Structure 1
Amino acid sequence: MNKQLKVLFIGTYVPKECGIATFTYDLLNSVSGVHDDIHCEVIALNDPSETYDYPEEVVFQIERNKLEDYHRAADFINQSDADVVCLQHEFGLFWGNAGDYIFTVLSGINKPVITTLHTVIRDPLPEYRASTEKLIQYSEKLVVMSQTAVDMLKEVYNVPDEKIEVIFHGLPDYPFNNCGKYKRMLNLKGSPLVLTFGLLSQNKGIESMLEALPGVVDQYPDLIYLILGATHPVVKKHSGEAYRDYLKKRVSELGLERNVVFHDKFVEKEELCKYILASDIYASPYLSREQIVSGALTYAIGMGKAIVSTPYWYAEEMLSDNRGMLVDFGDTDGFKDSLLYLIKNPDECNNMRKKAYDFGRKMTWKNIGKEYNNVFSKALKDYNAYPRIRNRFSFLPDQLPEVKLDYLKLLTDDVGIIQHTNLGVPARHHGYSTDDVGRGLVALIQLIDSQEKAEELWKLITTYMSFLEHAQTVSGHFHNFMNYRREFLDEEGSEDTLGRAIYGLGYVVSCPYMSKNIRTLAHTLISKSKSQMEKLNYPRAKAYTMCGLYEMLRAGVDADDFEATFVSRRDAVRSVDSLVGKETFESIFASHADSLVNLYESNHKEGWNWFEPTVTYSNAKLSESLILAYNYTKDRTYRKVGLATLDFLTDIQWKGDFFDIVGNQGWYSCDGEKPIFDQQPIEAGYLTQAYISAYKTVRERKYLELARYSFEYFLGRNRLRTPMYDPVTGAVCDGLNCDGMNCNQGAESVICYLMALNSLNKYADRVYGTVFQPAASDEVLPKRKSLLSANQSE
């Protein structure tokens, strides 16, 4: 049995009052009416704040000025079971420069795209040329409605023949009729009745017809010229009814009040067809030659109307072979003479009508639907046989960047790290923070693999240690924010601040290449904070603290006397039960790990394997802390929860070839929609560290691969395919917004980048030693359910 073909259309859609909305509706129905095994759906484009009661086939909506909607549309398409996407393209439909918002969709989907071009520009401005060329690149097939459009695509844009399909504009199938029946039906007068219809705008050229009419009505005073259609909504929004008012004034000046009728309304297709069938002559006095298609002219041809038109591109082609009469642009005498000829020569007029009608039979929607279905099937077959493997991240390097500390040094003065910059220049008025200094110590200690390296980084590490020693309060907590005048701005920082300070200090204590004095000071500061660590409430503060304590504990340091307990790990690991009445760093570490497990047990449910009802910030650090807890204690519960939650973070953020980090515009609740922006690079950095910890623990290659891809988020493997890291300066942008990168390049971002790079660097030969190109999430990871089953079975 043949598989059902599923087509997803993108365009405006009824009940929106515009020509492309009607076209999309007619095309969908013609396609779905060809065979029972064709299913069609629509992604509809709306103007800002516009709402419609759409029919059921509309499955997604884009507010065309909201870039985030385009991103979500791409995600929707990839997750749908659509076989092909049929895009209705007109530059003005989409927001951005020359309508370039649409490329957010096209560049992000993995389905063949068939694009119907409603406009092709012969002499495009640079932005329109660039937009057209990108459209050609992303389209499997280009459908145009005239040979003129084919010639332009080939001559102006170098499109190969095999990529272009000519399918005429569709039209309803009516029998060849005389006009009297429909005039009576609509209670219309006019002998003859001349019609122009469509959304009213200045390019319609109706004034040319008005200027021509006096010489015609002198001989045929019963002639009626019916101008049917509402003012184009965009024109009305910006200019009101100025053009219509001008036309009415001109009617009065020419004394044509009895002969010209305005019907100011948007008529549905069925009623429109009756108006066309009722008319004797159809006038199409467009002012611009660059008209590649006209639905109005198509309908008039297919219903066998006598036609007078200016020679725009579409009219020249469609009215050739005596299917209509052409008049130069603005040639009022030409319109007058043509109208008089048609009225005075009914036999020639009738022959012209019949030729137009016969030509129109090939353009009925039934035939158009068959032609589109043939194109869809062929495009899908070609796409599946020769998939266009677009490596959207081909610009990425095939090796890790070198560690570059220039920017970190630029931000560091003799006090600490300046938090933020103004276009890469340290912004002193933002001052310093303990948060950055604590994590900065982690990044620096990670780099030390020899005494020589320790000496190279000694000054920076000493500066950061000096800041933390100064920032610690009498209670053992830490101030967080200091202004440029070296004044602390808070009585104490948040619990996270405490955790981040312990995180960095733990790394210092564990480093065998650091001087004994600096390690002793770090241990002293940690010991002074013990009472504060014991009463932590917030999960991320506990996770940071655990990461710092883990480094210290694995080095064999626990008790308050640093010199007495800096022994081998085997001698240092002792039972908590043997230390009755005395909280050790080890017992605090275990207590925090247990509390995270309890938090997970309280909040996880089917499809939501997380510690809280909302995924917020510093997420992977929670998972990593439990993986480290397993490494130290060998308690399998910690490993199970640590890996389950890390796999959950992968599941909700890995898109198959890039990470789509949870944005901080409202965060991600279990019963809500995941925000796309603003994405913070710290999350990618922490994911990289967590994946490396997972790999070291369970030795599954997928974690090493995911570590590479989460790190490459900084290099451009992200939704916008834009590098956040500047290899020249070593700076890192602070966020990924819907309109591009956050231009601030602060301390947090570069530090998290360095931590991620340092973690991955140890496995660079394994990561880049084999070629791995992700194609779909399932090829990198098993389903979430199977991951959990594997963990729980242990």
Structure 2
Amino acid sequence: MTQSRRIAFIGNSLPRQCGIATFTSDLSRAMSDTLQNTQTAIIAMTDSKQTYDYPPDVIFSIREGEPEDYVTAARILNKGHFDAISLQHEFGIFGGDDGEYIIGLLSRLHVPVVTTLHTILAAPTPSQRRVLLEVISKSARVVVMAEKGRSLLVDVYGVDTAKIDIIAHGIPDRPFHDTESAKARRALAGRPVILTFGLLSPNKGIEVAIDAMPAVLESSPDALYIVLGATHPTLLRQQGEAYRESLRLRAENLGVGHAVQFLNQFVDLPTLLDFIALSDIYVTPYLNEAQMTSGTLAYSFGMGSAVVSTPYWHARELLADGRGLLVPFGDAAATGRAIASLLNDDGKRMAMRRRAYEAGRSMIWSHVATLYLESIDKARAGYRAPAGSHLVSLAIGRPPQQLTSLKLGHFSAMCDDTGIFQHAVYSVPDRSHGYCVDDNARALLLSAHLTAAGKTGIPDRLTGSFAAFVEHAWNPDTGRFRNFMSFDRRWLEDEGSEDSHGRTLWALGACALSDADLLRRRWASVLFERAMSASLSFKSPRAWAFALLGLNDYCQVNPDDTRGANLRLQLAEKLMDLQERVSKVGRCWFEEGLSYENARLSQALIVTGLATRKDRFTQAGLDTLRWLMAQQTGEKRQFRAIGTDGFFDVNQPPKQFDQQPVEATATVSACLAAYTATTDAWWFEEARRAFRWFTGGNDHGISLIDPETGSCCDGLHADRPNENRGAESVLCYLISCNEIERATQMLRPAFPRAGARQIS
């Protein structure tokens, strides 16, 4: 008996008018119709301010610009007993910078994902590269539709070829057609017909085909060029039918208006197949080679049309070996000659049609559905659901330690129903020092980051306690957060430090973006909005940096909040002003001295520059971080955290001790941000070098963590480690574990060559 399967698709869906929608709907239908005991469903992407009358197989629609919808979709899929997810990836259909919102959905799934890449860029921006690599890292298998796609993934992105499947674009199964019979049904008998179909937009090169028509008409005066398809919805919303009218006017001015017919409609499948059947030649004059897949080409080719095309990637592969004619980009004269040569040579045209039709038999939807099932089965066979979390413990510079499961024993012991205690005596929580908002904010941040990575482990009741502590810390009378609370739950101040306020904003931003609970995300967003303005009056550069890190997440959730966007730019400019005023030859930094969490200043500028596309922010972050890394390097290349004994020493080299975990964690985060900005492998190695500090790559060669409980020593003295294991230490260690593991999963085996930085 055949095993029953449930497969969900994520992508655009009919009746939305676009190629991805047609592909998703066709593939879903092919799998349910062709494969026994297979049920399919669709999570449909809906573009901004649009509504569609989706069919019953669409079980949920995601508004592309609403991060909460992606979280809801993940919950639906996790609870839907699906065996696998088929994701259709195209940068333009998902929200966030370069479609990054889809990562939040993928990170929460407990089901294997097979991703079909409809576009693969040969020269991606750093952001596009980051997003695509993370999508690939979250996918058990990756499908491309042409050999060129595989070569780009391997050569440009470093993806392991063993993870990639090549499956052609599907086509309907139709018999080889007689064009004259099909023409007769449309009152076109005897006329040579040239066809282009698809959504009308400037990148399709219709102008070139129109310009070719005078040459075609010289030898075939009755020829008709049919341009079939509605104007692309986005273009229609922006410009109306101005582009279509410009094409019509172009044809009239060339004197070929009578020979060019525009059919402005999004046709159903039977109508489309009728038009393909009646065409003698299908022409696809795209203007750019970077077209990985063309559904229109696949349909026409597979049904046995004679094709004239520009040599974009998909066409170059499909039309090789005499299966079509290729002409140079933008060359109307060559296009006209190619079309005329085929119209005037019935034997040549018929032979080309036969070769195309025979090659297309492997592309029919029933066969494609079977290949997708094979890919899905491979994904399921190698998939391990994220039960709990698995964090990487990397003893770099020493023999590698094994991967160890995330250990929350000490973390949990440090918590009660109020929140997390500040300090511990050895591993025993020290109640005498009570609690602080700094550590509870860090705990809320850790919870959000684990959720964003698709991990579980921190009970929701604890996350709720951290959030409740932050809520209680908010003092509406002062517009500030309190920081220190005694064990008997008395606040010891009306307002805390600027840095604690900034750090709390950071945690709220992360919570607003990634928390598992919808209402808690809304709470975090609202409280962030109330509390963010205070940061503009702060004097502390670290408070600005923490707030900027929070704004990086908050602005993703609230892209229309101009106050948040403006505040982000103002705080970044404050850091830029410091750096420009203080830096001098041989010292590129923000202050005359160094102190704690130094790398957060650089990280804040890097992520802000990436988010706002202001390269000068990113460059300043990279320059300062590079200088800082030189200060944090010992004689044997070990990471040497800035010692507390030398905090704020003006223009002095940093002191060696005492070293604290917070410095290593800040450096790990900043170096990973630098890698995202540059794709330079050196930054990733620097992040790993900083992480080694926890596991023995430090001045004493001593591991500071307990792999059984997940605890971490509070610091490194000149002669020994500090054996106390407080909240800040364990939180820093766990945060760095998560970040290193996520980066490692994303980059291995997809690892770039050193020196590939875009910004330096």
TM class by shorter chain equals: 0.5 to 0.7
Q: State the distance in 1 between where 2:5 and 2:245 align.
A: 49
Within 5 Å, give how 1:522-533 maps onto structure 2.
none
Which among 388, 391, 395 is matched to residue 389 of structure 2? Answer: 391
CA contact (8 A) 2:474 2:481 kept: no
User: Could you tell me which amino acid in structure 2 is paired with residue 104 of structure 1?
Assistant: G
The one-letter code sitting in structure 2 at the alignment partner of 1:275 is F
Q: Decide whether the 8 Å contact of 2:435 with 2:485 is kept in 1.
A: no
SS in 1 for 2:248: helix
User: Which residue number corresponds to residue 556 of structure 2?
Assistant: 739
**1:213 aligned partner, one-letter code:** M
Q: Does 1:182 align with 2:38?
A: no
- Report the residue type matching 1:739 in the other structure: Q
Which runs of 5 or more residues in structure 2 are unaligned? 394-405, 415-420, 424-432, 439-469, 496-510, 529-541, 559-563, 569-705, 713-729, 735-760
SS at match of 1:218: helix
CA deviations 1:12-44 (Å, max 9, x no partner) are 111111111111111011111223211111101
- The one-letter code matched in structure 1 to 2:155 is E
The 1-side partners of 2:295 and 2:518 are apart by: 44
Deviation at 1:76, TM superposition (A): 1.3
Letter in 2 for 1:117: L
CA contact (8 A) 2:2 2:36 kept: no
Matches within 5 A, 1:80-95: 80-95=80-95
Residue 250 of structure 1 pairs with residue 250 of structure 2: yes
For 2:333 and 2:476, the matched residues in 1 are separated by 74
Query: SS where residue 172 of structure 1 aligns?
Result: coil
1:660 correspondence with 2:516: yes
Q: Is the 8 A contact 2:204 2:286 kept in 1?
A: yes
Which residue does 1:144 correspond to in 2? 144
What secondary structure is seen at the aligned counterpart in 2 of 1:54? coil
Are residue 76 (structure 1) and residue 76 (structure 2) matched? yes
User: Superposition pairs for residues 438-587 of structure 1, below 5 Å?
Assistant: 442-443=486-487, 445=488
* Residue matched to 2:37: 37
Percent of aligned pairs with the same amino acid: 35
User: What residue is the counterpart of 1:526 in the other structure?
Assistant: none
The aligned counterpart of 1:329 is 329
Q: Is the 8 A contact 1:190 1:223 kept in 2?
A: no
Which amino acid counterpart does residue 359 of structure 1 have in structure 2? A
Partner residue, 1:370: 370
**Shift of residue 409 of structure 1?**
11
Question: What is the Cα deviation at residue 431 of structure 1?
Answer: 4.0
Change over 3 Å in CA distance of 1:393–1:107 after alignment to 2: farther
Matches within 5 A, 1:114-513: 114-188=114-188, 191-384=191-384, 391=389, 403=422, 431-432=477-478, 442-443=486-487, 445=488
Pick closer, same or farther for the CA change 1:768–1:288 going to 2, 3 Å. Answer: closer
1:2-41 to 2 correspondence within 5 Å? 2-41=2-41
Displacement of 1:243 in angstroms is 1.7
1:724-763 alignment runs, 5 A limit: 739=556
Task: Pick closer, same or farther for the CA change 1:390–1:187 going to 2, 3 Å.
Answer: farther
Change beyond 3 A, Cα 1:288–1:274: same
Give per-residue Cα distances to partners, 1:158-194, cap 9 Å, x unaligned. 1112100010000011111211222122334662100
- The answer to whether the 8 A contact 1:677-1:738 is kept is no
Q: What secondary structure does 2:108 align onto?
A: coil
| Separation of aligned partners in 2, 1:165 and 1:376 | 10
Structure 2 residue matching 1:173: 3-state secondary structure: coil
1:734–1:13 CA distance, 2 compared to 1 (3 A)? closer
Can you list the C-alpha shifts for 1:394-448, whole angstroms capped at 9, x where unaligned? 69897559838999799xxxxxxxxxxxxx9xx9996449x988x96545x469x
C-alpha offsets along residues 589-635 of structure 1, whole Å, 9 cap, x if unaligned? xxxxxxxxxxxxxxxxxxxxxxxxxxxxxxxxxxxxxxxxxxxxxxx
Distance 1:765 1:359 in 2: 57
After superposition, the Cα gap between the structure-2 partners of 1:3 and 1:769, relative to the gap in structure 1 and judged at 3 Å, is: farther
Letter in 2 for 1:173: D
Aligned AA for 1:107?
A: S
Do the aligned partners of 2:90 and 2:117 also contact (CA within 8 Å) in 1?
Answer: yes
Tell me how far 1:282 sits from its aligned partner.
0.4
The residue that corresponds to 1:62 in the other structure is 62
Tell me what 1:712 maps to. none
In structure 2, give the amino acid aligned to 1:207: E
Report matched runs for 1:697-708 at 5 Å.
none
Name stretches of at least 5 consecutive residues in structure 1 with no aligned partner. Answer: 411-423, 448-459, 468-480, 482-653, 666-674, 682-724, 745-763, 774-794
TM-superposed CA distance for 1:92, in Å, is 0.6
Mapped contact 1:190–1:224 kept (Cα < 8 A): no
- Any idea what the Cα deviations from partners look like across 1:275-294, whole Å, max 9, x if unmatched? 00011100000001000010
**Pairwise CA RMSD:** 4.1
- Per-residue deviation, 1:240: 2.1
The secondary structure found in structure 1 opposite 2:343 is: helix
8 Å CA contact 1:74, 1:105 repeated in 2? yes
For residues 728 and 126 of structure 1, the distance between their equivalents in structure 2, rounded to whole angstroms, comes to: 22
Deviation (angstroms), 1:297: 0.5
The structure showing larger relative contact order (alpha-carbon pairs under 8 Å, at least 6 residues apart) is: 2
Partners of 1:153 and 1:732 in 2: how far apart?
A: 31
How many residue pairs get aligned? The number is 477
Distance 1:766 1:84, change over 3 A: closer
In structure 2, what is the Cα distance between the partners aligned to 1:394 and 1:680?
Answer: 34
Say if 1:679 and 1:735, in contact at 8 Å, map to a contact too.
no
- The SS at the match of 1:299 is helix
Give the aligned residue type for 2:57: E
Distance in 1 (alpha carbons) for counterparts of 2:548 and 2:330: 60
Matches within 5 A, 1:634-653: none
Distance in 1, Cα, partners of 2:436 & 2:386: 42
Going from structure 1 to structure 2, the CA distance change for 1:659 and 1:324 (only over 3 Å counts) comes to closer
TM-aligned CA distance change 1:237 to 1:372, over 3 Å:
same
Q: Deviations over 1:730-787 (max 9, x none)?
A: 999799968369999xxxxxxxxxxxxxxxxxxx99975799x9xxxxxxxxxxxxxx
- Partners of 2:343 and 2:555 in 1: CA distance: 59
Measured after TM superposition, the shift of residue 54 of structure 1 is 1.6
Quote the offset at 1:219 in angstroms. Answer: 2.3
Give distance in 1, aligned partners of 2:515 and 2:154. 38
Q: Distance in 1 between matches of 2:241 and 2:437?
A: 63
CA distance in 2, matches of 1:333, 1:277: 26
- Change in 2 beyond 3 A, CA 1:100/1:344: same
Distance 1:440 1:38, change over 3 A: same
| In 2, Cα distance between equivalents of 1:729 and 1:397 | 27
Contact 2:422 2:434 in 1 (8 A): no
Corresponding residue for residue 527 of structure 1 = none
Quote the Cα distance in structure 2 between the aligned partners of 1:226 and 1:328: 21
- The Cα shift of 1:221 comes to 1.2
CA distance in 1, matches of 2:437, 2:292: 59
User: Shift in Å at residue 391 of structure 1?
Assistant: 3.5
CA distance in 2, matches of 1:172, 1:114: 23
Q: Tell me which structure has the larger Cα radius of gyration.
A: 1
Kindly indicate whether the alpha-carbon contact (under 8 Å) linking 1:42 and 1:60 is maintained by their aligned counterparts in 2.
yes
Shift in Å at residue 123 of structure 1? 1.1
Q: Which moved more, 1:46-55 or 1:101-110?
A: 46-55
SS of the residue 2:383 aligns to:
helix
